[in-house]
């Protein structure tokens, strides 16, 4: 996934000049030895501002793009926090626990120093990652660093991201319309284009010599049973190359891209197919293509791709699970009430690697009803990737800018159940503990749109820290029954 950052970590130890510098040096070396991944150990131990500048220059020269600032003893408040200001990348602050020496000359008081450090960070309005309990042994801190990596990867990605849209957004889909002010506050660049721009570029790719190779790759991915329309592959391959070339030619000063494209009603008739399968293929490579010009959906997908280092998708929080399906397939077999379940659906944008083996390229039933003659064979509404989403752990989440320009988010961990849906599209039966209450008191109460991003695994802890680091003040989650929501009627 070349569209996802590679985190190159460095560690800098700091030392207050009235404490033995050897404490910070040996404790830093112990962390380096305990950490299983790549970690550049800066040889400069920071005691003053001159040391700070030397250390920043050193880790930059070493190619580091994320930094661990380690209080091996009490630490100097000014230079240690200036590290976060001068270093161009996410910084984590951790402190040494006692226990590796005597408590006279071997006591570092980093537990105390961490308080002053956090106070100074706040005075400078600096954002930093501080673990839930940031004081520990070398082994403890090695674990904290491992937790920091996906957070750093997402923050680096967002700060170097360009969101490319092809619109305008569909009529009557106001949920996909949101102020772009929040994107600029996050440091994301935006490029807005029209569908005509995309169509012109698509037509310019006619006869592209790379098309046969892409068709061969598509056929291999789909297999014989999934490749229902072999003659359609060249058109879809041409579109895939159009998007990939646009990304490369338009990323400008940014390193990473994500798309939010209009996909109906004009698209299929003018392009000759539905874009869903192509969108799914790009998502599998870490290049999300959000449906219906959902720009915050694209951003949410990209954050999830960075955190999980895996494919993600965007789904409608679509329909309730019928009681007869629940009674026959779920009740007594899984620890969920009917209201904990729902179906997540979209036309066919979920990557094939996250779907059941019977997934296949089909046609968009709803668009066929709307755009093609009744009773006719599907033509330009073909191109969706349909089938049930594979069972497994998921995290449903979203980052959104509301109509007042306030960034809000939610995160809920759950699973896709191994229950056949008997429906169409890319779809699955989802279960999230206390979903009914979450649906009412978060999704509806806070006016979130119908689209949610899905990461395939439990990534709530990392996503929470990413949103905190990005300055999102409202991070909602599916609260347990014992913890009422502020808007929840205590009498039911």
Q: What is the pLDDT of residue 174?
A: 67
Q: What is the pLDDT of residues 121-150, one digit of tens each?
A: 999 999 999 999 999 999 999 999 999 999
Say yes or no: 419 and 432 in one domain: yes
- What domain range includes position 374? 161-477
Q: What is the pLDDT of residue 167?
A: 85
Q: What is the pLDDT of residues 81-137, one digit of tens each?
A: 999 999 999 999 999 999 999 999 999 999 999 999 999 999 999 999 999 999 999
Last residue of a domain, one of 112, 128, 158: 158
Q: What is the pLDDT of residue 492?
A: 84
Q: What is the pLDDT of residue 1?
A: 65
CATH number at residue 137: 3.40.50.10940
198 CA to centre of own chain: 26
Say yes or no: 102 and 187 in one domain: no
Q: What is the pLDDT of residue 178?
A: 85
Say yes or no: 59 and 205 in one domain: no
Residue 490 domain flag? no
Say yes or no: 444 and 362 in one domain: yes
Residue 492 domain flag? no
Beta bridge partners of 388: 427
* Best CA proximity match to 415, nearest among 463, 454, 358: 454
Say yes or no: 99 and 229 in one domain: no
Q: How many domains does the chain have?
A: 2
The secondary structure of 241-289 as a DSSP string is HHHHHHHHHH-TT-SEEEEEE--SSHHHHHHSS-SHHHHHHHHTTT--E
The yes-or-no verdict on residue 208 having pLDDT over 90 is yes
Q: Which residues of 96-105 are buried (b: 16+ CB within 10 A; e: fewer)?
A: bbbeeeeeee
Say yes or no: 136 and 173 in one domain: no
* Best CA proximity match to 166, nearest among 75, 246, 69, 253: 246
Measured between alpha carbons, how far is residue 327 from residues 123, 331, 417, 424, 429 in Å?
Answer: 56, 5, 14, 21, 13
The yes-or-no verdict on residue 387 having pLDDT over 70 is yes
Last residue of a domain, one of 158, 177, 210: 158
- Non-local (6+) Cβ contacts of 243 within 8 A are 259, 278, 282, 287, 289
Q: What is the pTM of this model?
A: 0.96
Measured between alpha carbons, how far is residue 397 from residues 51, 150, 394 in Å?
Answer: 42, 16, 10
Residue 327 domain flag? yes
Say yes or no: 284 and 352 in one domain: yes
Say yes or no: 206 and 342 in one domain: yes
Q: What is the pLDDT of residue 447?
A: 94
The yes-or-no verdict on residue 270 having pLDDT over 90 is yes
Over residues 351-362, the mean pLDDT reads 97
The yes-or-no verdict on residue 460 having pLDDT over 90 is yes
Say yes or no: 279 and 220 in one domain: yes
The secondary structure of 357-415 as a DSSP string is TT-EEEE-HHHHHHHS-TTPPP-TTEEEEEEEBPPEEEEEEEEEE-TTS-EEEEEEEEE
Please name the helix (run of DSSP H) or strand (run of DSSP E) that holds residue 30, with its range, or none. helix 21-34
Residue 212 domain flag? yes
The yes-or-no verdict on residue 312 having pLDDT over 80 is yes
Over residues 401-408, the mean pLDDT reads 92
Say yes or no: 177 and 83 in one domain: no
Say yes or no: 189 and 328 in one domain: yes
Q: How far apart are CA 280 and CA 111, in angstroms?
A: 48
Last residue of a domain, one of 116, 141, 158: 158
Residue 4 domain flag? no
pLDDT band at residue 175, thresholds of 50, 70 and 90?
low
Residue 483 domain flag? no
> Poorest-confidence range of 71-80, 160-169, 237-246, 453-462?
160-169
Residue 489 domain flag? no
Mean pLDDT for all residues in the chain: 96
Say yes or no: 147 and 204 in one domain: no
Q: What is the pLDDT of residue 172?
A: 73
């Amino acid at each position: 996934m070349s569209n996802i950052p590679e985190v190159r970590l460095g560690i800098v130890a700091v030392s207050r000049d009235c404490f033995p510098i050897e404490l910070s040096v040996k404790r830093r070396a112990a962390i380096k030895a305990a950490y299983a991944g790549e970690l550049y150990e800066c040889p400069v131990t920071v005691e003053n501002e001159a040391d700070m500048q030397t250390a920043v220059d050193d880790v930059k020269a070493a190619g580091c793009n994320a930094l661990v600032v380690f209080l091996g003893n009490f630490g100097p408040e000014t230079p240690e926090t200036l590290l976060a200001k001068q270093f161009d990348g996410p910084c984590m602050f951790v402190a040494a626990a006692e226990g590796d020496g005597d408590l006279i000359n071997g006591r570092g008081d980093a537990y105390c120093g961490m308080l002053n450090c956090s106070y100074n960070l706040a005075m400078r309005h600096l954002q930093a990652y501080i673990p839930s309990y940031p004081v520990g042994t070398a082994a403890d801190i090695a674990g904290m660093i491992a937790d920091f990596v996906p957070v750093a990867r997402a923050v680096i990605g967002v700060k170097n991201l360009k969101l490319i849209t092809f619109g305008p957004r569909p009529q009557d889909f106001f949920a996909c319309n949101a102020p772009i002010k929040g994107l600029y506050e996050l440091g994301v660049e935006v490029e807005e284009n029209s569908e005509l721009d995309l169509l012109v570029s698509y037509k310019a790719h006619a006869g592209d010599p790379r098309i046969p190779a892409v068709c061969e790759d598509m056929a291999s991915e789909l297999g014989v049973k999934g490749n229902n329309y072999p003659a359609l592959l060249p058109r879809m391959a041409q579109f895939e190359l159009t998007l990939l070339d646009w990304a490369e030619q338009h990323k400008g000063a940014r390193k990473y891209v994500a798309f939010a494209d209009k996909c109906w009603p004009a698209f299929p008739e003018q392009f000759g197919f539905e874009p869903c399968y192509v969108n799914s293929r790009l998502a599998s490579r870490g290049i999300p293509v959000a449906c219906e010009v959902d720009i915050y959906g694209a951003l949410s997908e990209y954050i999830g791709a960075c955190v999980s280092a895996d494919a993600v998708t965007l789904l409608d929080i679509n329909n309730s699970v019928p009681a007869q399906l629940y009674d026959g397939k779920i009740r007594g077999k899984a620890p969920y009430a009917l209201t904990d379940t729902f179906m997540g659906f979209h036309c066919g944008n979920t990557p094939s690697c996250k779907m059941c083996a019977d997934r296949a390229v089909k046609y968009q039933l709803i668009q066929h009803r709307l755009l093609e003659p009744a009773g006719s064979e599907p033509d330009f509404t073909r191109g969706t990737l349909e089938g049930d989403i594979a069972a497994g752990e998921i995290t449903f989440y979203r980052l959104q800018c509301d109509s007042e320009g306030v960034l809000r988010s939610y995160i809920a961990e759950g699973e896709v159940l191994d229950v056949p849906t008997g429906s169409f599209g890319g779809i699955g039966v989802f279960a999230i503990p206390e979903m009914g209450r979450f649906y009412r008191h978060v999704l509806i109460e806070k006016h979130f749109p119908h689209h949610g991003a899905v990461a395939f695994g439990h990534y709530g802890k990392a996503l929470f820290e990413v949103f905190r680091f990005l300055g999102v003040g409202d991070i909602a989650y599916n609260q347990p029954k014992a913890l009422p929501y502020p808007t929840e009627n205590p009498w039911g």
